[in-house]
Amino acid sequence: MAALRRLLPKAFLAPRSSTISRFVSPPSTLNPQTDLQSAAAALNLHPLRRGGDPKGRNVQWVFLGCPGVGKGTYASRLSTLLGVPHIATGDLVRDELASAGPLSSKLSEIVRQGKLVPDEVIIDLLSKRLETGEAKRETGFILDGFPRTVRQAEILEGVTDIDLVVNLKLREDALLVKCLGRRICSECGGNYNVACIDIKGEDGNPGMYMAPLLPPPHCETKLITRSDDTEEVVKERLRIYNEMKAADFGSTCETQPLNLAQAGSCYLLSDINLTKPVEDFYRSRGKLLEFDLPGGIPESWPKLLQALNLEDGDDKRSAAA
């Protein structure tokens, strides 16, 4: 990870081919719902010894998925379990916007105009974060929100090896309710969800239940809603995400203006992963793990761990208590 701050901008400017042969492996799409063990074997996810500590597994993973699907939730849990930093580019952008940093005014203007945050800005923020982590002797990472274009994926591939890309999926009717239920504690910054999702199965389609993730008593009176978590904005965000996927948008690093009149001033396009081309990029390298969330955290977390060939001792102990 040495000198990433210098390497990333250079890679951004240097011409690169669309593939790097030493990373290419046969195309595959791995669905953990149907073949968990094969998925783990194909991705060389070696099982931990019984009683082993998952910390120290120097993973370099990427989480993809549509806005609100839970990338941050599951990436954060895995970050704690594995002892590696969870780096969310949406948070990096929000932190920079709230600061008096050199990019703050530029980002404010980009967001005001409803444009995509340019690659060079995202790369600059990410490289600074990685450099800070390197100084703290951090090892490994789980990226959330990067790469969002094939160009970014190529740049990342040029400076480090990505072991695994997890693509989280959730049915859209559940996703809308989930986004509208998100809450943040204004004091501690904890993330919660007050929505109780109970979708009945019909016409041969399975139902889904997601219990609310309620705050502890000391946070109950301090909950706030993100300014972009309104029904109008969430629907617009999902519409743009789906249109971009359908159009195969995202293979270029150019700034693209979009019609975001209804999105509000705090709507960050860094939060939208333009994932279809990026999914294909990592699928062609045999590194993509597709994971359909079957429900809330109690249902999804154990199955995600199984797909990743991991064990959470704390989770088992709490379940047995």
- DSSP per residue, 9-57: HHHHHS---S--GGG------B-TTT-HHHHHHHTT-PPPPTT---TT-
State the catalytic residue, choosing from 129, 148, 178, 285.
148
User: Cα–Cα distances in Å, from 146 out to 108, 121, 126, 153, 186?
Assistant: 20, 12, 9, 8, 26
Query: Would you call 226 a catalytic residue per the annotation?
Result: yes
Please state, as a whole number, how many other Cβ atoms lie within 10 Å of the Cβ of residue 187: 12
CA–CA separation, 249 and 279 (whole Å): 12
Residue with tokens 């890679």: 11
For 316, what's the count of Cα atoms within 13 Å in the CB-facing half-sphere?
Answer: 9
Residue with tokens 């975001």: 260
Query: Would you call 129 a catalytic residue per the annotation?
Result: no
State the catalytic residue, choosing from 71, 77, 276, 283.
71
Query: Would you call 71 a catalytic residue per the annotation?
Result: yes
Query: Would you call 148 a catalytic residue per the annotation?
Result: yes
- Reading the block at residue 260, the tokens are 């975001």
Indicate the pairing of strand 164-169 with strand 182-185: unpaired
State the catalytic residue, choosing from 182, 283, 285, 287.
182
* 119-135 vs 150-159: helix crossing angle, rounded to 10: 30
Query: Would you call 112 a catalytic residue per the annotation?
Result: no
- The CA-CA-CA angle for residues 187, 191, 197, to 5°, reads 140
CA–CA separation, 241 and 258 (whole Å): 11
State the catalytic residue, choosing from 77, 151, 237, 276.
237
State the catalytic residue, choosing from 94, 171, 226, 245.
226
- Reading the block at residue 175, the tokens are 């996703």
Q: Are 56 and 83 in contact (CB under 8 A)?
A: yes
Residues belonging to the active site: 71, 148, 182, 226, 237
